[in-house]
Amino acid sequence: MKRKNGFKVLSLVTVLLWGTGTLQAQTAAQDSTGLPGDNFSLEGALEMFQKAGSPEEFEKMLNSQENNVNNLDLNEDGEADYIKVIDKRDGDVHALILQDAVSENEDQDIAVIELEKTGNDQAVLQIIGDEDIYGEERIVEPTDNTNAQKQTTRVVDDAAPRTRTHTTVVVNVWAWPAVRYMYAPRYVVWASPWAWHRRPIWWRPWRPVRYHAFYTYRRPYRPRYVVVHTHRVVHAARVYRPVRTTSVTVTTRHQASVTRYRADRTSQRKSVTVTKGNKQVKATRRTTTVEGKRGRAKTTRTTTRVRRTRD
């Protein structure tokens, strides 16, 4: 009798484990875009930046296999790519570029961390996934409630006589060690010294895993970060845009997938006025509809601040 009960328990556990694995595989398949960005965790990159003490240490953490942030192989040589970190600074604004050396002559930006000091002991940041890697700009920011403050934005739509108010929790990242390090008086702007034929002696490339496995590895990072559709660090975007780097090889190789991804999305742009306190700024609002399975649609809105309006 005991053997029969033990067999039943073992069978039940086996079924539960099989069901859990099947559910995770289905979730991974649904979240996959088929684009290179599937193999780089933006949430994981922010987690590493939060733990790092400097941009140099951050770069090392990005390129450590055990951290499960990077699974990219853009040059398709069967080994994970090395990700360089390059800081571009303008006053209190930093654009921390995450860049892949695809070949001896080509680099490709994967993402950029936009960081701005907004006051005494206050700073905000977002990480923006490159549109050639993710199909469109993918914006991720911290979401935990520690050192967070509410930000209320009143949006007046030029095309419709109504006003909408949005309240967003913005995380103050001033306590992050790397942030404090980058705003220290003696900070020397970091630019990775490594290149295609010049890599650090500690780095050991590994064989990338399949997407379903990588999806499972990077899942623990997700609860602490959120995908948003508003650029908060607008000045950093202006600093980064002129130096954005793309690879012809990567663009050509993934052009069909990116085109197909974008074709499944429809966008409408219109001008709106965003009011923050006593300030008014012009912005472009983009409404995006994603067509999913069974004809279901998911709509998102992205607001990008453009310029301050005159009183």
40 and 111: one domain? yes
135 and 257: one domain? yes
Structure tokens at 115: 């960081």
Q: What is the pLDDT of residue 281?
A: 58
CB 271 within 8 A of CB 284: yes
> Residue 268 pLDDT > 90, yes or no?
no
Please choose, from the candidates 269, 263, 258, 236, the residue with its C-alpha nearest in 3D space to the C-alpha of residue 118: 236
Percent of the chain at pLDDT exceeding 70: 67
Q: Give the count of domains, the chain.
A: 2
Q: What is the pLDDT of residue 303?
A: 56
Q: Would you mind telling me the total number of residues written for the chain in this entry?
A: 311
Q: What angle do CA 282, 283, 288 make, to 5 degrees?
A: 160
3 and 50: one domain? no
> How far is the C-alpha of 309 from the C-alpha of 306, rounded, in Å?
9
Q: What is the DSSP code string of 53-80?
A: SSHHHHHHHHT-GGG--B---TT-SSSP
39 and 26: one domain? no
> Residue 94 pLDDT > 90, yes or no?
yes
Residue 25 is assigned to a structural domain of this protein: yes
**Where does the pLDDT of residue 287 fall: very low under 50, low under 70, confident under 90, or very high at 90 and above?**
low
Percent of the chain at pLDDT exceeding 90: 61
**112 vs 261, which has greater pLDDT?**
112
Q: What is the pLDDT of residue 137?
A: 96
49 and 89: one domain? yes
Average pLDDT, the chain: 81
> Residue 35 pLDDT > 70, yes or no?
yes
Q: Tell me the whole-structure pTM to 2 decimals.
A: 0.74
22 and 139: one domain? no
Structure tokens at 75: 């040059």
By the 10 Å C-beta count (0-12 exposed, 13-18 middle, 19+ buried), 137 is classed as middle
